[in-house]
Structure 1
Amino acid sequence: MTVTVGIDKIGFFTPDHYLDMVDLAHARGEDPNKYLIGIGQSKQAVIPPTQDVVTMAANAASQILTPAIKADINMVLFGTESGVDNSKATAVYLAHLLGLPANTRAIELKQACYGATAGLQLAADFVRVHPTAKVLVIGADIARYGLRTAGEVTQGGGAVAMLVTADPTILALDAISSYHTADVMDFWRPTYRTEALVDGKYSTNVYLDFFKTVWADYQAQTQRSIADFSAFVFHLPFTKMGRKGLRQILPEADEPQQASLTAAFEASQADNREVGNLYTGSLYLSFLSLLRHGTLVGGERLGFFSYGSGAEGEFFSGVLQPDYRSGFDDDFLTRQLADRQAVSVAEYEAIFQQQLSNDGRDTQLAVGQERAPYYLAGRQHQQRQYRHQATN
């Protein structure tokens, strides 16, 4: 008997401050349209020192986990390239913060922006073998390139949390996917750096080449064509990048489908445009944005392109389920984005410099204004001090 496996619930968190790209453009002496149109970004999440990938993941996961679901979690797979320790997994910190059972397997996965997709596929394979299992998959990152750098406009951050189960509410994953790996130096962050190094134009070209490669291989494996899809969801380090990917395959569709696929892409990039780059979470924020703003119906097949620099790409697909809207809290997500407060460029620059130091000294962070349920209070004796508002 074939087990239907996929995404049952999905949550998203980003901190409550943002930078307007028009303000950044003016401060950097650029035409705002270079950012708004050329890059395709309107706002950028500003990450305070009291939020890291662990706390953001906890804030996202808490939206979808009831006490009963927590008791049934078998595994946590945490995709990130912004880990807080070179040895201890972010998933272990997260499992403790959320109060998950002690017999939970907790692992951190790293391959640039691809990590959460690795987690999703490993989770799906696990549930196919263990149909009663529930797996929590996280994509959480803080995209940092540095102040006044070419990549500054593509910064951001946040976390996406997905519950993978049998008989999912949102999306049933197809078993076949296509993946491709090559040793490419388009983006990397050595252990001695807090900001990434990137060759932006080269990285875009690699991204587009990988998409063509895995899309062609997927078609060869499945005998499906573009006509079998209602939407394509892309990893979006910036929204213009996904638009370039879609345009590569649009000529394969007739004119009515080209129009519908383009409309679906616009829906999928709406929330990313307001948040910026999530690295491992970007593809799945795009998916959530499509669910929130698109005009989909159950039974439609969606295509996904995941890409992680360095480089690894994968194309996979899934069938939307009839009651998919009950798998996320649309009103909460709308309020979360709408209630954020703008910061000035000077405030953003100050916050950017306030991350925990790398010298290991004890630090008490200013947490009096922290509104998120989970936050980082500081560091004592070389250990991060995580807190939950309800327990203080």
Structure 2
Amino acid sequence: MAWSFSHLDPAVAETAYDTLGAIRRGCPVARSGELDGFVLVTGYAEIREAARASDRFSAYVDGLGAAAVVTEMRDAVAPMFETDADHHHQWRRLLQTFFTPAIAAAQAQYVRAVCREVLQELIPHGAAELVGAYTRQVPPLVIGRVLGLAELERVWLSEHVRALYSAETLTEAQQAGRTYADFLLGQIQQRRAHPGRDLLSAMVNAQVDGHSADDDELVKMTMLMVAAGHLTTADACATALLQLMEDPPLRERITAEPSALEAFVEELVRYEPAVAATGRTVISETHLGGMPLFPGDRLLLAWGSANRDERVFDDGDVFRLDRDRDAPQHLGWGAGEHRCLGRHLARVELRVMLTELLRALPGLRLQPGTTVRRTFGVIRGVAALPVQWEHQ
């Protein structure tokens, strides 16, 4: 069955999960003629199978999926993100020590300090657009610290990242992308000459299959590492705030019971995963969901659709704080060997960012007449959150 669907079409955003649900119920593996043709995978079982079968489906995809957020280094292959099997496993083993639950928990104090500094600037104004003023301010500083950047360098990273992803024209994006890539290249060259004990040094000086990654590979991998740590967390936080403002009883419970925040974050990631879609490339003739596939076919895995699959979740379209976490496991953090490496850090960041904001801005609400526009594509979020709060 064929459908005309593009996750990059802005018109899709508001009704994305209604549309994906209709496609999933009709055919969980369907072809789309958009974007030069691809296979749209919307079912839970089918997405999990594709994500876990690296011998049939490669994480390297030309122009489709998560790597498409880094257009400046399209010709390079980012180790860890776009490789499979043993090569990927070696990279993951090298880097996962920087993303353990204990290491993530140790970042909480820094995240809290950054949140409070940003919020202290906002409080006197009584109103702000929170996506630009808060949710996109904190995460790049945190991932910069994880990479091992000095405090001033984290500020530079944050400015470059936000300039790239807020560019309004192609020319602006290209210029910002070059400046950003040059900044990262300088950091990479420093780590090669004077390695430290940080994440970026580990990436630069890693020996996998007998050789180190070259500059282009490292720049692209670092860009993807920053995007994974910045865009997903920023958009997840914005989506969480919208969810709380639209559901006052839920917000009251979260505020009164801080222990409920962990369940809230996990349900949010199931219900509205920040990573909406990633790609795979078929590398050997196979079948998925009854559809014959051939080498070179590109797959788009719609993770949020999997988490609402009625064959697995009886009420997947409903946000439920008391959802049973034991079974089935949602796919909001991905599946298989490319499951989100930074999920423990993301959980810590989201819990701290939400706690600090709700504490600092009492009476938080959308500004009168506001219509919030959701985004959808590789990343799911909201375009802007104009809010106001009680200010003494």
TM-score by length of 2: 0.25
**Bigger relative contact order, structure 1 or 2, given CA contacts below 8 A and separation 6+?**
2
Looking at secondary structure, tell me which structure has more strand per residue.
1
Looking at secondary structure, tell me which structure has more helix per residue.
2
TM-score by length of 1: 0.25
